[in-house]
Amino acid sequence: MTRSAAREIAIHCSYSLGFSHQSPDEFLEERMDKENFLRWGEENALYKEYPNEKQIQYIREVVRGVASHGPELDQYIAQYSKNWTFARIPRTAAAIMRVAMYEILYMPAIPKAAAINDAVEIAKKYEDEKVVSFINGILGAFVRAEFPEEAGPKAEPAPEEA
C-alpha cells in the first residue's frame, strides 16, 4: 500500500468519524480491525490490501489529530475560503482539506507539497473540477500565508531614482 492510499483511507476515516458516535480510538479500533478492513475491500479496491504497521500508525495519527484539531482546521478552511461559506463546502472536500492541513501543521516529515498534491489527486476521485480547484487554491493560500518563509524569496522593490 502506498502513502497516497493510506492518506485516502485516513480521509475516509476522518469523514466517517464525523457521522459516528464513537471516540476516534473506538472508531479506529473497529475500522482498522483486519477482518473488518478486508470486508470493505469487497466493495472498494482501496481496502483490498491491509496496511503495514507503519501505515496503520500513520492513519491512526492523522485521524486522531484531525479529530482533536477539527475546530482549528475548520477555522483555517473558513479563513482561506474566498466567496464560499463553510456550509457550502462539500463534506468530502472538507475532510480532504482537514487531513492535508493537519499534515502540513503537525507532521513536518511530510513535505507540504506532497500533502497538497495528494489531496488534489484524491479530490479528483470524489469531486468535480470546480471543487478540486477550490481545494488546491485553499491549500496553496494556506501554506503561502502560514509558512511565508517557505514560499521563497520575495522580489525586492526597485530602488527609487534620486
Structural domain containing residue 20? 3-148
- What CATH number corresponds to the domain at position 55? 1.10.940.10
Residue 18 exposed, middle or buried by CB count within 10 Å (0-12, 13-18, 19+) = middle
pLDDT digits (tens, 9 = 90+) for 10-56: 999 999 999 999 999 999 999 999 999 999 888 999 999 999 999 99
Domain assignment present for residue 155? The answer is: no
pLDDT digits (tens, 9 = 90+) for 113-155: 999 999 999 999 999 999 999 999 999 999 999 998 875 544 4
Region 106-112: mean pLDDT is 96
What single-letter DSSP state applies at residue 21? S
Domain assignment present for residue 157? The answer is: no
Q: How many domains does the chain have?
A: 1
Domain assignment present for residue 161? The answer is: no
Domain assignment present for residue 153? The answer is: no
Domain assignment present for residue 101? The answer is: yes
Q: What is the pLDDT of residue 151?
A: 56
Q: Which region among 54-58, 69-73, 120-124, 157-161 has the lowest average model confidence (pLDDT)?
A: 157-161
Q: What is the pLDDT of residue 100?
A: 98
d(CA 31, CA 3): 18
Q: What is the pLDDT of residue 83?
A: 78
Does position 157 have pLDDT exceeding 60, yes or no? no
Rg value, the chain, Cα: 18
Domain assignment present for residue 159? The answer is: no
Q: What is the pLDDT of residue 84?
A: 78
Domain assignment present for residue 86? The answer is: yes
Domain assignment present for residue 158? The answer is: no
